[in-house]
Amino acid sequence: MGGDDQVVLVNARDEVTGTMEKLQAHREGALHRAVSVVITNARGQMLLQRRAWGKYHSPGLWANAACTHPYLDEDPAIAAQRRLWQEMGLRAELEPLFTFTYRAELDRGLIEHELDHVFQGVTDQDPRPDPAEVAAFRWVSPSILRAEMRRDPDCFAPWFLMIARRMGDG
């Protein structure tokens, strides 16, 4: 088990190379392991969360249902379940979707450089989000999401834009 203030550094093959304090990793742009959770409902709508305004990066941007950094020695699938519950108060069966690496310049001079394990699940439960993590949530159809992403991409977290496009929803 690790701490919420640490990230697991990895190489391009997702092999652990160490740990680093989370803010330092985002200042330096160090490649680290991440998890993203995409949730849809039976109607095919995707659950989006607006990141809380107090987040140290990307506050107020729309993103996928949950994101986290796995603890050292924590399986990404376990981290995905943990964070979906912590952020959205949801439980769902999650399946691995894909893994990708990206680097994005963020606000406040920070850099997100992640090897991101993306999981997908389906639920019709009503989210019960943690207000420290989530300012708002909504369910959105693929066609509306595509239109919004084209019209105003700066309203979305950069990793979510990449995930949605890769899924064919952007």
Quickly count: other Cβ atoms within 10 Å of residue 81's Cβ.
21
* Rounded Cα distance, 169 and 13, in Å: 27
Residue listed under structure tokens 């450089």: 113
- Output the CA–CA distances (angstroms, integers) from residue 30 to 21, 61, 80, 83, in the order listed: 10, 22, 21, 22
Q: Is 114 a catalytic residue?
A: yes
Q: Which of 15, 21, 28, 67 is catalytic?
A: 67
* Rounded Cα distance, 147 and 142, in Å: 9
Q: Is 155 a catalytic residue?
A: no
| Residues 6+ away with beta carbon under 8 Å from 117 | 33, 34, 35, 36, 70, 76, 77, 80, 96, 99
* Rounded Cα distance, 119 and 131, in Å: 23
Q: Which of 114, 133, 148, 155 is catalytic?
A: 114
Catalytic residue positions, numbered: 67, 114
